[in-house]
Amino acid sequence: MPRIGAFVCWCGTNIAGTVDIEQVVQAVSEMSGIVYVKDYQYMCSEVGQNLVKTAIKEWQLERVIIASCSPRMHENTFRKAAKAAGLNPYLVEVANIREHCSWVHKNKEEATKKAIALIRAAVAKASLNTELIAKEIDVENRALVIGGGIAGIQTALDIAEAGYQVDVIEKSPSIGGKMAQIDKTFPTLDCSACILTPKMVDVASHPNINLYTYSEIESVNGFVGNFEVTIKQKARSVNLEKCTGCGICTEKCPSRKSKSEFDEGLRTRGAIYTPFPQAVPNVPVIDREHCLKFNTGKCGICEKLCPAGAIEFGQEDVLVTKKYGAVVVATGFDIIDLDKFGEYQYQNHPDVLTSLEFERLTNAAGPTAGKFIRPSNNKRPEKVVFIQCVGSRDVSSRGKSYCSKICCMYTAKQAMLIKDKYPDIEVYVFYIDVRTPGKNFDEFQRRAVEEYGVNYIKGMVGKIFPAGDKLIVHGVDSFTGDTLKIEADMVVLAAAAQAKPDAEVLGRKLAISTDTNNFFTEAHPKLRPVETHSAGIYLAGACQGPKDIPETVAQAGAAAAKVIGLLSKRKLVSNPCVSVVNEDLCNGCLSCLKICPYDAIAAKELATNNHGITSKRIVAKVNEALCQGCGGCTVACRPGAIDLKGFTNKQITAEVDALCH
Amino acid sequence: MMYSYYPGCTLKTKAQDLERFALISAQVLGIELAEQQDWQCCGAVYPLAEDEIAGKLSAVRSLAAAHSKGEKLITLCAACHHVIKRVNADMYSNEFVRKRVNNYLQLPKNYNGEAKVLHYLELLRDDVGFSKLAEQVRMPLTGRKIGAYYGCLLLRPSNVMNFDDAENPSILEDFITALGATAVKYPFRTECCGGYLTVNDQEANEMAANIINSAIGLEVEEILTACPLCKYNLEKELGTNTKVRIVYFTELLAEALAIK
Amino acid sequence: MIRVKITPNNKQSQLQYIREISGVNINKCIQCTKCSAGCPASARMDILPHEIIRLLQLGQVEKIFHSKSIWNCASCFVCTERCPRNIDIARLIEAIRLTIIRQPGKSKFKPDDVPGIIDDKMPQQVLVSGFRKYNR
Ligand SMILES: Cc1cc2nc3c(=O)[nH]c(=O)nc-3n(C[C@H](O)[C@H](O)[C@H](O)COP(=O)(O)OP(=O)(O)OC[C@H]3O[C@@H](n4cnc5c(N)ncnc54)[C@H](O)[C@@H]3O)c2cc1C
Ligand code: SF4
Ligand code: SF4
């Protein structure tokens, strides 16, 4: 029996308020193997840690039990303390008597009993703990950023500035994301392009940044410090090096029916196109679905006209495989489809717009060159109605249960932009609640009301009835209880923000999880907001949840800091609590391989020599660097051949036995 | 194909046209509709309260009868369809209702919402197909401007009725187009006509008026309906106004099939 | 005029009854007014559907019992269809109607009323629904 010391923490009154510490200490001191017990108000404090260190030395402790808060909180703290006192850190065991006990119980007697039982289990397990040695692995000092919106741009610039190489993968032909589509930005109303395009140029010209536009992730292998990513560069049909961006091809292309994605379908574009004039790279791409050459074999005008000879119809998709130490996911968001909201007539009427379409409509570089007109008749509207929460806070099958967070602010912005240019236009905003937390945000929204005279109506719109060239908006003002009919010329719908449709697929490739709404999940909502549960993979921007630009940029910087921190370590210490296969017991069924979420298990051929007869058989093999120690495989294994170091079947059984004692 | 057919009371009295034209058209289209034996009034409105079981029994009798024959149950009146479809959904997913109804009815076999209920229009759309229907049209209604009036009961609540997009439906317009006429979508086509409020309020019915004005505003000549109550309310509101006529969809069907 | 007193004790049982037979959780309502904004019968209502729910949340059943709104709801299900919080408002209003007409002598539409409204075109459906909705 090893010599065990136990340390019981009060956590102020957090534990001591519900658990009778004195009784616990008494009971623990009688457990077999215990040679030392100590209680203290805050065991995690320096004084507390010193108590542990001193006791290890003075009492020659071989195992340490800390009865305190969750191991997620302070396991590392106490492991470090043990290490400093010369004890292998994996000989420390935490009994969670706070989250699992004092916080969830009211009855002191029962809580005390439970605390003792939890400690007894920890003692039983600790007796079987063995010394574990963490290994070191090399770190590839290049980072990958997926998504070239403002989140990806900022992350890449910050990492590059710190001196590391960064590759940015952007799915569309240009970086920029939604911010490039936006006209002016809240809360300062500065022009979006003016603050974004210089950053886009910085990305393109930075010696440490390498851009892969019109590209996607094909597959991801490896693990923190050593990811191996295959990138698919879709055939652009234009040579990136040769093209000078003169634009003659995009101007002369005779196929003009495709709707411009960048202009939200408010304008058409050629089959060869650059999404917008400030695109980075400023190199067009051929949309093969609409290109006459690809469809009929005839045409090829762009090829004939290109002075640089950059058109290459024969290009094919190219796969590139590269290694990275860290990955940042910054794939952004979308707004929802409005198909299911027929009452707003979005499908039936050109003057009913989404918020994003509105951004293009007021943008000086947009389809109307900034002239504010109704798409139906090119006349200036006299009354504009904004409707917020279209699909947000909506738990029915057509909406999203969450608040989209950005709409209150951008609607106020859009309303002010109209009033600023055309004070005579009447503007109404229907809202459920106005939510404007953020620096200078509420002041911004109030300005719309107080200075610009935007009519805010607390209530929703039931339906819009087109009549002649008007849109009759039927709504309610909840303050007065009046039903309203507004004869509008234009209606703008603040459609809910939603996750990218392919987020789940990308998540699976990266082995990171998505929440019920398909936004990527952070490792901890408060304490680890930019990390994922997969080491070395970080999140930035709206792919993690709806966000405005200030928040996105802040998160991008945080993700970059995490990446820089990781890359600056030449070597990484791996978690030694990994699975290990007992090859004698393994029957090669590979159930473990199928369930491992981290692809850490492979098949291995084993040559056996039985009295001179050699035969081969398959066994499972764990890649220790990939294994995250989740333990899934240990339960899937029927012969019990695979075990998790630090959490062996024997240890768990001992714990359970002790609990049932 | 053989179907069980539930007519409902109003079709046997005040709305005989709705049924008559439906039945002769079915014959031409090769649809065999066998009227159920001993059907009872569906109750006209679906009992919304959780504790109302009695009002659901007659619908279940018809549903169970159709199911035991292995046939789909076809309805014609929008109100009957609404009641039967919703009761069926209760029998499928509401344990409380299912248990009580089965205890009460003591059918040879417990009924658990297995039957499929189709409105005649759904039958045309899903089983016959509007393109097949168009092929059978002998006297296309070319040039006639017809506005579909959906009302409430076929469409809502859409998660149970599953009839069409509740806010932007198209089944009736597709039907009109199949008959060769011009379908006009007017904004009030899915609004309520006032329904049973007519017993309550004998003054002007602004709800029906809105619908009529909206249709007339787009030069609709005929308003198509599947509900005797809607037809009554709209016609009452219309009074002597002859700008627009209210017709059952089956009447136009028979006309286009040249059997009216 | 009665000033609002939140949930008078003697109304608790009626409130409970309404909750029970409607099966609706009124606490889910965020007072967005979508129901009222689309209600085709709102012109005939003194209290709008969203206000009915608010009053229920405050336990003010008496005010609702005295309103004409509940008798003028057409059960058209527009509100139910569009409510972003999945509240079946039509069911709730039905439950309020039933709470009243299930009391003896409180039926709103009686056989004696029939001759006054009937005409030769009126479909049976009208009378059957009328009795189902307003009579017990
Ligand atoms: C109408 C409207 C108005 C707004 N106005 C303002 C405002 O005034 N002020 C403000 O602060 N915020 C505003 N916002 C919010 C702002 O748009 C977001 O905060 C910002 O765009 C988030 O940046 P992002 O980089 O995370 O995402 P995005 O801008 O969506 O960029 C994501 C990028 O990743 C790329 N991508 C996606 N999937 C993949 C993939 N699988 N592989 C490779 N690349 C991929 C996309 O093509 C895109 O380029 C507004 C939003 C809307 C809808
Ligand atoms: S629509 Fe629903 S959430 Fe909105 S006020 Fe009506 S009941 Fe409440
Ligand atoms: S069901 Fe009643 S309350 Fe709801 S929208 Fe229709 S008439 Fe109004």
pLDDT in tens, A154-209: 999 999 999 999 999 999 999 999 999 999 999 999 999 999 999 999 999 999 99
pLDDT at C1: 56
Asked whether residue C91 falls in the same domain as residue C115, the answer is no
pLDDT digit string (tens) for A65-104? Answer: 999 999 988 999 999 999 999 999 999 999 999 999 999 9
Partners of B14 in the β-ladder: none
Query: Which residues in chain A have Cβ-Cβ distances shorter than 8 Å to B187?
Result: 465-467
Cβ–ligand 1 distance for A170 under 6 Å, the answer yes
pLDDT at B260: 86
Query: Which residues in chain C have Cβ-Cβ distances shorter than 8 Å to B199?
Result: 109, 113, 117, 126-127, 129-130, 134
Number of independent structural domains in chain C: 2
Percentage of residues in chain B having pLDDT higher than 90: 96
Residues 6+ apart with CB under 8 A from A608: A614, A615, A616, A617
Subunits next to C (3 or more Cβ pairs <8 Å) are: A, B
Helices (H), chain C: 12-22, 34-38, 49-57, 61-65, 69-72, 78-82, 89-101, 114-117, 124-134
Which of A341, A397, A465 is facing B159, going by the closest CB pair? A397
With a cut of 70, say whether residue C4 has pLDDT above it: no
Asked whether residue C22 falls in the same domain as residue C73, the answer is yes
Query: Which residues in chain C have Cβ-Cβ distances shorter than 8 Å to B157?
Result: 77, 80-81, 88
Query: Which residues in chain A have Cβ-Cβ distances shorter than 8 Å to B183?
Result: none
Stretch A212-217: mean pLDDT, rounded? 98
Torsion, Cα of B40, B41, B42, B44 (10° steps): 180
DSSP string, A541-569: GGGGS---HHHHHHHHHHHHHHHHHHHT-
- The 10 Å Cβ neighbour count of residue A232 is 17
Q: Which of residues 82-111 of C touch A (CB under 8 A)?
A: 82-86
Asked whether residue A391 falls in the same domain as residue A529, the answer is no
Cβ–ligand 1 distance for A179 under 6 Å, the answer yes
Q: How far is the CA of C38 from the centre of ligand 3 (A)?
A: 8
pLDDT at A613: 84
Of A144, A182, A409, A492, the residue with max ligand 1 atoms within 8 A of its CB, to mutate for a pocket test, comes to: A182
pLDDT at A611: 84
Number of independent structural domains in chain A: 5
Strands A613-622 and A601-610: antiparallel
Cβ–ligand 2 distance for C27 under 6 Å, the answer no
Asked whether residue C78 falls in the same domain as residue C123, the answer is no
Per-residue CA distances from A644 to A246, A582, A637, A649 (Å):
61, 11, 12, 8
Query: Which residues in chain C have Cβ-Cβ distances shorter than 8 Å to A459?
Result: 32-33, 36-37
Nearest CA to ligand 2 atom 3: C29
pLDDT at A23: 97
3-state secondary structure at position B134? helix
CA–CA distance, B187 with B173 (Å, rounded to integer): 13
Give the structural domain span for C48: 9-103
* pLDDT confidence band for A626 (50 / 70 / 90): confident
pLDDT at A106: 94
Q: Which residues line ligand 3 (CB under 6 A)?
A: C 39, 41, 49, 73-79, 89-90, 93
Q: How far is the CA of A514 from the centre of ligand 2 (A)?
A: 30
Q: Which ligand is in closest contact with the Cα of C87?
A: 2
* pLDDT confidence band for B202 (50 / 70 / 90): low
Stretch A366-395: mean pLDDT, rounded? 96
Partners of B114 in the β-ladder: none
Mean pLDDT check: name the lowest of A54-63, A482-491, A568-577, C6-15: C6-15
Q: How far is the CA of C90 from the centre of ligand 2 (A)?
A: 11
* pLDDT confidence band for A136 (50 / 70 / 90): confident
Asked whether residue C45 falls in the same domain as residue C96, the answer is yes
Interface test with A, best of C34, C44, C80, C88 (most A CBs within 10 A): C34
Asked whether residue A477 falls in the same domain as residue A588, the answer is no
pLDDT at C51: 97
**How many CB pairs below 8 A link B and C?**
130
Query: Which residues in chain B have Cβ-Cβ distances shorter than 8 Å to A347?
Result: 168
Asked whether residue A387 falls in the same domain as residue A433, the answer is yes
Cβ–ligand 2 distance for C114 under 6 Å, the answer no
CB contact under 8 A, B236 and C113: no
- Helix axes B206-217 and B228-238, enclosed angle (nearest 10): 80
Helices (H), A85-174: 108-127, 150-161
Torsion, Cα of B251, B254, B255, B260 (10° steps): -90
Asked whether residue C40 falls in the same domain as residue C90, the answer is yes
Asked whether residue A147 falls in the same domain as residue A70, the answer is no
Asked whether residue A414 falls in the same domain as residue A431, the answer is yes
Helices (H), A496-548: 503-510
- The 10 Å Cβ neighbour count of residue B216 is 17
Prediction pTM value: 0.88
pLDDT at A608: 82
Q: Which residues of A touch B (CB under 8 A)?
A: 340-343, 347-348, 397, 465-467
pLDDT at A438: 94
Asked whether residue A530 falls in the same domain as residue A430, the answer is no
Domain boundary among A440, A468, A498: A498
With a cut of 90, say whether residue A48 has pLDDT above it: yes
Per-residue CA distances from A436 to A410, A445, C31 (Å):
10, 8, 19
Cβ–ligand 2 distance for C97 under 6 Å, the answer no
Domain at A482, CATH number: 3.50.50.60
Handedness of CA B206, B212, B216, B217 (dihedral sign): positive
Taking alpha carbons only, the member of A341, C70, C25 closest to residue B158 is A341
CA–CA distance, A82 with A121 (Å, rounded to integer): 20
Q: Which two tokens stand for residue A324?
A: 């990275």
pLDDT digit string (tens) for A234-274? Answer: 999 999 999 999 999 999 999 999 999 999 999 999 999 99
Asked whether residue C83 falls in the same domain as residue C114, the answer is no
Q: How far is the CA of C48 from the centre of ligand 3 (A)?
A: 10
Residue A653 covered by a domain: no
Q: Which residue of chain A is at minimal alpha-carbon distance from C83?
A: A396
Query: What does DSSP assign to residue A528?
Result: B
Mean pLDDT of chain B: 96
Q: How far is the CA of A491 from the centre of ligand 3 (A)?
A: 25
Q: Which ligand is in closest contact with the Cα of A145?
A: 1
- How many Cα atoms sit within 13 Å of B132 on the Cβ side? 11
3-state secondary structure at position A508? helix
Asked whether residue C44 falls in the same domain as residue C91, the answer is yes
Residue A661 covered by a domain: no
Q: Which ligand is in closest contact with the Cα of C40?
A: 3
Query: What does DSSP assign to residue A91?
Result: G
CB contact under 8 A, A348 and B159: no
**How many CB pairs below 8 A link A and C?**
64
Taking alpha carbons only, the member of A149, A275, A145, A277 closest to residue A210 is A145
With a cut of 80, say whether residue C2 has pLDDT above it: no
* pLDDT confidence band for A222 (50 / 70 / 90): confident
Which of B159, B168, B187 is facing A467, going by the closest CB pair? B187
pLDDT digit string (tens) for C27-42? Answer: 999 999 999 999 999 9
Q: Report residue A425 CA to chain centroid gap.
A: 40
Stretch B132-153: mean pLDDT, rounded? 97
pLDDT at B123: 97
Asked whether residue A328 falls in the same domain as residue A345, the answer is no
CA–CA distance, A606 with A603 (Å, rounded to integer): 10
Asked whether residue A272 falls in the same domain as residue A384, the answer is no
Q: Which ligand is in closest contact with the Cα of C96?
A: 3
Of C85, C86, C96, the residue with max ligand 2 atoms within 8 A of its CB, to mutate for a pocket test, comes to: C85
Contact A461, A387 (CB under 8 A): yes
With a cut of 80, say whether residue C8 has pLDDT above it: no
Asked whether residue A117 falls in the same domain as residue A14, the answer is yes
Q: Which two tokens stand for residue A188?
A: 């300062």
Nearest CA to ligand 3 atom 3: C73
Per-residue CA distances from A505 to A118, A502, A513, A600 (Å):
40, 5, 10, 19
With a cut of 90, say whether residue A624 has pLDDT above it: no
3-state secondary structure at position A400? coil
With a cut of 90, say whether residue A281 has pLDDT above it: yes
Asked whether residue A176 falls in the same domain as residue A292, the answer is no
Partners of A221 in the β-ladder: A228
Residue A133 covered by a domain: no
pLDDT at A578: 94
Task: Set out the domains of chain B in order of their start, with CATH numbers.
Answer: 2-120 (1.20.1050), 130-256 (3.40.50)
Stretch A357-376: mean pLDDT, rounded? 95
With a cut of 90, say whether residue A435 has pLDDT above it: yes
pLDDT digit string (tens) for B80-136? Answer: 999 999 999 999 999 999 999 999 999 999 999 999 999 999 999 999 999 999 999
Query: Which residues in chain C have Cβ-Cβ distances shorter than 8 Å to B248?
Result: none
Torsion, Cα of B117, B121, B127, B131 (10° steps): -170
Partners of A572 in the β-ladder: A137
Domain boundary among A95, A126, A157: A126
C30 vs A: CB within 8 A: yes
Q: Which ligand is in closest contact with the Cα of A356?
A: 1
Stretch A573-593: mean pLDDT, rounded? 93
Give the structural domain span for A549: 142-234+317-332+501-567
Asked whether residue C64 falls in the same domain as residue C16, the answer is yes
Partners of A106 in the β-ladder: none
Query: What does DSSP assign to residue C27?
Result: G
With a cut of 70, say whether residue A466 has pLDDT above it: yes
Which of A343, A466, A467 is facing B167, going by the closest CB pair? A343
Distance from CA of C31 to the nearest CA of A (A): 7
Per-residue CA distances from A382 to A28, A361, A420, B164 (Å):
79, 16, 14, 35
Asked whether residue C99 falls in the same domain as residue C135, the answer is no
* pLDDT confidence band for B12 (50 / 70 / 90): very high
Which of C33, C43, C84 is facing A476, going by the closest CB pair? C33
Asked whether residue C71 falls in the same domain as residue C135, the answer is no
CB contact under 8 A, B167 and A348: no
3-state secondary structure at position A655? helix
pLDDT at A599: 84
Mean pLDDT of chain A: 95
Residue A590 covered by a domain: yes
CA–CA distance, C58 with A453 (Å, rounded to integer): 34
CB contact under 8 A, A466 and B187: yes
Mean pLDDT check: name the lowest of A563-577, A601-615, B174-188: A601-615
Contact A518, A504 (CB under 8 A): yes
Nearest CA to ligand 3 atom 5: C39
Query: Which residues in chain A have Cβ-Cβ distances shorter than 8 Å to C37?
Result: 459-463, 474-476, 483
CA–CA distance, C92 with C98 (Å, rounded to integer): 10
Which of A340, A347, A465 is facing B187, going by the closest CB pair? A465
Asked whether residue A44 falls in the same domain as residue A106, the answer is yes
Of C25, C26, C31, the residue with max ligand 2 atoms within 8 A of its CB, to mutate for a pocket test, comes to: C31
CA–CA distance, B253 with B251 (Å, rounded to integer): 5
